[in-house]
Amino acid sequence: MQLSIIVPTYNEAPNVAELVQRVASATAGIETELIFVDDSTDATPDEVRRVAASAPLPVRLIHREKRTGGLGGAVLEGFLTAEADACLVMDGDLQHPPEDIPALWARFRRGDVDVVVASRYSGGGTSGGLSDRTRIAVSKASTALTRAMFPIRLKDVTDPMTGFFLVDRHAIELDTLKPRGFKILLEMLARKNLRVAEVPFDFAGRHAGESKASMRQGFHFLTQLTLLRFGKMSLFALIGAFGAVANLAIMWGLTHAGVDYIVAAIIAAETTIIGNFLLQERYVFQDMTGAASGVWSRFGKSFAFNNAEALIRIPVLAFMVQTWHISAVFAAAITLIVAFFVRFMFHSLVVYAPQRAGAEPSRVRRFVEDLDSQAMSPGEL
């Protein structure tokens, strides 16, 4: 097998037959397999099986009951099961024209690159298939933001957001990929320096069905971008900052409602401690929960630690102000910065520590390796 084409699908039944027919025509003369990795809730799996029975090229179906990692997770599963080392990824809605596959294949066959990207923004490429001017503007803005955050690794890439590309799967470290959404190419390019070439293409309109774009996907993209660029620590800090603002807002509201300020401060603190834990579970440490202790155990450790930290930090703050005669704001800033690093280390190395099994390295080595992994994974510094 020379080429494995991976098509992640979600409710794309009306497009399957047309896609298979056009891919087969475009890849005539290339030993090709077509792999549908399907997360659908409609008749897409049945349609793939029906079309596969008479298709002129091998068609396989992987129907996932658990949609782990979203579209990116589907692509990763396709990589793991592909027969060829050269893997081409494309959408199932025909906005990525199969007729452009030979151009990507020809460029890849020259052997001097790891990835060939089909770009809407290089050469004669276009993004006309986006439904309206708003989506075009959002696409261009998100692309510009992404390139600005990875100026070195994306210096030769005009369209890191595309879902249409061909990659040598041995050039990427599959076990390091942590897909959180639909921008799997960005995940690969941000984690490792790869040799990249681009081929322009015209982004077409959908053949059938409706777009899956949503505000939720936009939020997942921003989360993915933040984690890739800065690592877990940055998102942990972002959630902490949000919690601080929420704390002040809750306290302000309660005191204006006549609640004693001490009571208001306690309520605000406990509320934001719980809120921060829920956000950290969902967006910072979600990839570590499977190997860690149960959720109630994690909550108990986090809740107890944050309360203990507050009981220690406030007296330290008072001591600094009264003994060293520095401003309360400056003293608070110092204690909060120290508390941030302590909180991050505790949550990374204690709350979400994997359950122990078998022999382990020394405590010092484990501490250093775990802390380095959590604070610096991944990033471009």
Greater confidence (370 vs 362) lies with 370
Is the pLDDT at 313 greater than 70, yes or no?
yes
Residue 36 phi, psi (nearest 5): -90, 120
Across all residues in the chain, what is the average pLDDT?
A: 80
Query: Which residues of the chain does CATH 3.90.550.10 include?
Result: 3-227
CATH number of 3-227: 3.90.550.10
Lowest mean pLDDT among 65-69, 230-234, 316-320: 230-234
Is the pLDDT at 65 greater than 70, yes or no?
yes
Structure confidence at residue 376 (pLDDT): 53
Structure confidence at residue 318 (pLDDT): 78
Is the pLDDT at 295 greater than 70, yes or no?
yes
Structure confidence at residue 314 (pLDDT): 74
Mean pLDDT of 184-194: 81
How confident is the model over 81-99, as pLDDT tens digits? 999 999 999 998 888 999 9
Q: Print burial letters for 105-141: b (CB count within 10 Å at least 16), e (below 16).
A: bebbeeeebbbbbbbbbbeebebebbeeeeebeebee
Of 197, 129, 203, nearest in space to 166 by CA: 197
Is the pLDDT at 249 greater than 80, yes or no?
yes
Taking the CA atoms of the chain, what radius of gyration do you get in angstroms? 25
